[in-house]
Each structure stands twice: as structure tokens, then as C-alpha cells.
């Protein structure tokens, strides 16, 4: 059974949502990925959200753009954590998506990451799952360590070659 449901409003969201899937793959977390539009196919959306718990999802990562109701409506129905990813948009730069997703009414939270924050959404989902999974927690600690090592290596190179040759 998949632990995480990844859902997006359109295939145009895929470049961002695939970053979330890549991180889950790297951490060995199982997921289902779906394209379901809350606006264009409301019946399919309700079926998805209502069956998410029985499918075994522990977290849903939902990405959408513009009047982005998909994450909030997932949170209205699914009783476990929902992480929202606001998509960048050409007309309003993603502020429309961000405000639509983050400004939830009291009682129905959506943990909202940055505009186009696909990777961080998956890391947040992994951290939620890691609260009851010591092996996953160890993998996340290794991942964080690798981030630090990458910065240290970049600084080391800068010190060796100077900024003009970097
Ligand atoms: C939203 O509308 C989707 O999540 C997408 O970000 C945006 C545009 O969708 P398309 O017109 O590209 O299908 O529902």
C-alpha cells in the first residue's frame, strides 16, 4: 500500500510534482501519483479524497495553480496531514496559488510549502512519516548531512581556486 498520495490539478504541474516523487523514491517511500482536477472533474476528486484513508495514505501532497482548491479540499476530507504546493503562474507569479492554498480557515490546515516547492513537500512528508519510523529518520539525517557536505565542498573549492576561477 502506498504511504503517500501525490495529486496534482493538471499535467502542467508535473515538472514540480516530479521533484516530490524523486525525493520519495530516493528515501524509499511508496506513493501513488494522480492527476485529478477538483474543478474540472469534481466527482472523481471526491472519490479520490474520500477513499484516500482506506487506500492507506498517511500524507497527501497536493499541488495546484491559480484558484488552487485541490489541497484545501483534500484537507477538508482526508483526516491526516495534507501538504500543499502552490504552482508558479504566469499571470500572478504564483501568489494566486499560494494565497489560495495557505489561507485555510481554522480547523482545516494545509501545510503549505514555497511556490514550486516540490522537493520540500516530499521532505516534509518524509519527516511526518519518520516520527514513527526510525530507519526513515536515519535516512533523513543522512540527507541533511549530505547537504552540509555539499556546501563545505563548495567553500573548500572557493578557497582553493578563488572566486575568479570558481
Ligand atoms: C490548476 O490549474 C492546475 O493545478 C494547474 O496548475 C492550473 C492550470 O491547469 P492547465 O490549464 O495547465 O491544465 O487546476
Q: Which residue minimizes the CA distance to atom 5 of ligand 1?
A: 65
The answer as to whether 62 is a domain residue is yes
Burial class of 86 by CB neighbour count within 10 A (0 to 12, 13 to 18, 19+): buried
For residue 100, the model assigns a pLDDT of 98
The C-alpha cell 519510523 sits at 133
Strand partners, 86: 64
The answer as to whether 43 is a domain residue is yes
For residue 80, the CA-to-ligand 1 centroid distance in Å is 25
Mean pLDDT computed over 8-29: 98
The answer as to whether 163 is a domain residue is no
pLDDT tens by residue, 132-154? 999 999 999 999 999 999 999 99
90: its cell numbers:
504566469
For residue 135, the model assigns a pLDDT of 98
For residue 15, the model assigns a pLDDT of 98
The answer as to whether 149 is a domain residue is no
**Quick one: pLDDT band at residue 87, thresholds 50, 70, 90?**
very high
pLDDT tens by residue, 20-38? 999 999 999 999 999 999 9
Q: b/e for 51-66, b at 16 or more Cβ within 10 A? A: ebeeeebbbbbbbbbb
**Quick one: pLDDT band at residue 56, thresholds 50, 70, 90?**
very high
Nearest ligand 1 atom to the CA of 65 is: 6
Ligand 1 near 64 CB (within 6 A): yes
For residue 59, the model assigns a pLDDT of 98
Which CATH number covers residue 92?
A: 3.40.50.1970
Counting the structural domains of the chain, the total is: 1
Mean pLDDT computed over 7-17: 98
The C-alpha cell 476528486 sits at 45
Angle, CA of 120, 121 and 125, to the nearest 5° = 115
Which residues make Cβ contacts (< 8 Å) with residue 24, sequence separation at least 6?
Answer: 4, 6, 30, 31, 122, 125, 126
**% of the chain at pLDDT higher than 70:** 100
What DSSP line would sit under 40-59, residue for residue?
T-HHHHHHHHHHTTTTT-SE
Range of the domain at 82: 4-132
The answer as to whether 145 is a domain residue is no
pLDDT tens by residue, 107-132? 999 999 999 999 999 999 999 999 99
The answer as to whether 55 is a domain residue is yes
The answer as to whether 48 is a domain residue is yes
Task: Quote the CA–CA distance of 31 and 25 in Å, as a whole number.
Answer: 9
Amino acid at each position: 500500500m502506498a504511504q503517500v498520495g501525490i495529486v496534482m490539478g493538471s499535467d502542467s504541474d508535473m515538472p514540480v510534482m516530479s521533484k516530490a516523487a524523486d525525493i520519495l523514491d530516493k528515501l524509499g517511500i511508496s506513493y501513488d501519483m494522480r492527476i485529478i482536477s477538483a474543478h474540472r472533474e469534481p466527482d472523481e476528486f471526491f472519490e479520490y479524497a474520500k477513499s484516500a484513508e482506506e487506500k492507506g495514505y498517511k500524507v497527501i501532497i497536493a499541488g495546484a495553480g491559480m484558484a488552487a482548491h485541490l489541497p484545501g479540499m483534500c484537507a477538508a476530507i482526508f483526516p491526516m496531514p495534507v501538504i500543499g504546493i502552490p504552482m508558479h503562474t504566469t499571470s500572478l507569479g504564483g501568489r494566486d496559488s499560494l494565497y489560495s492554498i495557505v489561507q485555510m480557515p481554522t480547523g482545516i490546515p494545509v501545510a503549505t510549502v514555497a511556490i514550486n516547492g516540490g522537493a520540500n513537500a516530499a521532505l516534509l512528508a518524509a519527516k511526518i512519516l519518520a516520527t514513527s519510523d526510525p530507519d526513515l529518520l536515519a535516512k533523513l539525517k543522512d540527507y541533511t548531512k549530505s547537504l552540509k557536505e555539499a556546501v563545505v565542498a563548495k567553500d573548500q573549492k572557493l578557497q582553493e581556486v578563488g572566486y575568479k576561477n570558481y
